[in-house]
Structure 1
Amino acid sequence: MADIRTTSIEADCFYHIYNRGINGEHIFKSDRNYLFFLKKVSDFLNPVCDVYAYCLMPNHFHLLVKIKSDSELASLVKVLNLDKATETISTGLHSPQNIFSKQFAGVFNSYSQAFNRENKRHGSLIESPFKRKLITSDQYLINAIIYIHQNPEKHGVTDQFLKYNFSSYHSILSDSKTVLKRDEVIELFDNKENFILSHQKTIDFDAEF
């Protein structure tokens, strides 16, 4: 089995991304922290991947993302003036791995600096490198989404995951504006009713938390 810290990031693939605070320390202490992290995810990751699900917990987080296509990543290279737009992005600086990692580092760095200032702390906040698992089938994708949404209950943060505010569960069911791939998620489950029903079964992945 590939090392979950070094699994290659490839274009057009789904990944379960997760990580935690150094030594299991809390990385979110207030509603403002959670909302600021989500904003940074939107700012830095939306250009390079589509977000299908998320859950932010006091000491760790989960994201379910699909990396953009080679052509979309090539456009990003051009927008960011990383180098010549015509250069291949299959390897080196412009590989999906490095483009995504650079943007993800932007989330971590921006959030960590703000958190450290607010809490008068210094040093690293989140473990590195981030952990990721390649999603290899639609059923695995469905199970990963359910698992991510059930995480607050699994870890005893709430007695019912439905009550938890900082996951994508309610955003997927709502009609409010979102950057989540809501329609694509519902299509995976066929409809909203089956999405709700499917979340009533327990999914127990070994995610090392």
Structure 2
Amino acid sequence: MPRQARLDAPGVLHHVMARGIEQSSIFRDSHDMEDFIDRIARIASKKDWFIYAWALMPNHFHLLARTGRKSLSGNMRSLMSGYAGYFNRRHKRHGHLFQNRFKSIVIEEETYFLELVRYIHLNPFRANIMEDISELEHYKYTGHSAIVGNADRPWQDTDEILGRFSTKHRHAIELYQEFLAAGATQGSRHELEGGGLVRSYGGWKEVEKLKRGREKYRTDERILGTSSFVEGILEEAEKQEEKKNTHVTMDSLIRNISKDMGINKEIILGRGRNRRAARARSILAYVWIRYLGQNGNQLAKVLGVSPQYVHRVSSQIEQDNAITSKEVEKWCNSIS
């Protein structure tokens, strides 16, 4: 959901992942990778987030990021939408580049911070992009080379990592290298990627469902942490649900969206093919189903369309990643 309260506020740590649509490549050459890195760096340089670990793979990427002055959702929207536009222009293609929205896991820091740094930076080695782990030290497309001092990336917070090994810089690097090498034989660690992952934007309602059965914690790793940490997240999810705009009726939502977009309410409710009206109906479906968690069948009846239609267009709006949390909150909170 767009309003994250404490969970998506400055200081929250996330493991973020996104893949190319249908497993397609999102980086075709070094030029693409450098462009993507520059975009991460620009956001980090403004203190909108803090980056500790990252890895670019041919068809996906990983980030270990702490929310800064801007929400994770806002940062990811800037990163992914901007890069997708660049990629499509450069390679003369159209359509979505990424598979759905990004995924993220809220991380219990003390338990998993270093494990994730290691896991993320070992991605190219596990994928056989290189034969020997020592090649990682000069590999440009993970954050490892910056931590060991072989790449100048001032926007990457390497001190936070090295400080957990030693107060002496050189000794800290040596201990970190030993730590990384010790993980080379661990293989894929799916527990660090989660099962049904909580998105930092739009997923807390699903987390709350875990309260129905505590045994699901280990088989559906939506949060990465100890039992007490998971319980805290579940409690926060419940609070978020209580704060949800339950006072919003379908009629008031239609009225607010039509007023904001400058479209007559009756046009939205009609079946005309006017592009602005179709866009408004799609936004309405997104807010009603994805944000408020309401029944799509009810909306389909009001609009005179099939349930499949409202679910499809709401999914398209979510994939476009073009609706901001402020817009959603405005439509839900406006007093007409």
- Measured against the shorter chain, the TM-score band is 0.7 to 0.9
Q: Do the aligned residues in 1 keep the contact of 2:13 with 2:67 (CA within 8 Å)?
A: yes
2:105 to 133, 136, 150: 133
Could you tell me which residue of structure 1 aligns to residue 65 of structure 2? 65
1:155 aligns with 2:127: yes
CA distance in 2, matches of 1:100, 1:57: 21
Match of 1:182, as an amino acid? T
Structure 2 spans left out of the alignment, 5+ residues: 1-6, 167-171, 195-336
- 1:56-205 equivalent positions in 2, closer than 5 A: 56-68=56-68, 73=69, 99-163=71-135, 164-174=139-149, 176-190=152-166, 191-202=172-183, 203=186, 204-205=188-189
SS in 2 for 1:167: coil
Q: Which runs of 5+ in 1 are unaligned?
A: 1-7, 74-95
Aligned counterparts of 1:17 and 1:44: Cα–Cα separation in 2 = 15
Give the whole-Å Cα distance in 1 for the aligned partners of 2:126 and 2:146: 20
- Point out 4+ residue stretches in structure 1 off by more than 4 angstroms: none
Tell me if the contact between 1:34 and 1:166 (Cα under 8 Å) persists in the aligned partners.
Answer: yes
AA of the residue aligned to 1:66: R
Q: Secondary structure at the match of 1:15?
A: strand
Partner SS state of residue 8, structure 2: coil
Specify the code of the residue in structure 1 equivalent to 2:175.
N
Distance 1:187 1:61 in 2: 25
Structure 2 CA distance for aligned equivalents of residues 27 and 118 of structure 1:
12
Report the secondary structure of 1:188's partner residue.
coil
> d(CA) in 1 for partners of 2:31 and 2:129?
18
CA contact (8 A) 2:53 2:143 kept: yes
Matched letter for residue 189 of structure 2: F
User: Which aligned pairs between 1:34-53 and structure 2 lie closer than 5 A?
Assistant: 34-46=33-45, 47-53=47-53
- Please tell me whether Structure 1 or Structure 2 has the larger radius of gyration of its CA atoms: 2
CA RMSD of aligned residues (A): 1.9
1:44 deviation in Å?
3.0
* Mapped partners of 1:189, 1:139: distance in 2: 15
Q: Give the Cα separation in 1 of the matches to 2:89 and 2:124.
A: 27
Aligned residues: 173
CA contact 1:16–1:135 (8 Å) conserved in 2: yes
Tell me, in whole angstroms, the C-alpha distance in 2 between the residues paired with 1:50 and 1:37. Answer: 16
The answer to which structure, 1 or 2, has the higher relative contact order (CA under 8 A, 6+ apart) is 1
Q: CA deviation at 1:201?
A: 1.6
Which AA in structure 2 matches 1:181? Answer: D
1:200 aligns to what SS in structure 2?
helix
- Give the deviation of 1:41 after TM superposition: 1.1
> Aligned with 2:163: secondary structure?
helix
- In the superposition, the TM-score normalised over structure 2's length comes to 0.48
1:53, 1:65 within 8 Å by CA — same for their partners in 2?
Answer: yes
1 or 2, which has the higher helix percentage? 2
Percent identity among equivalent residues?
A: 25
DSSP 3-state at the match of 1:19: strand
Whichever structure has more strand as a proportion of its residues is 1
For the pair 1:54 / 2:35, whether they are aligned, the reply is: no
Aligned residue number for residue 28 of structure 2: 29
1:145-192 C-alpha deviation (Å, 9 max, x unpaired): 000110011122222344232001111111735211111110123311
How high is the TM-score relative to the length of structure 1?
Answer: 0.76
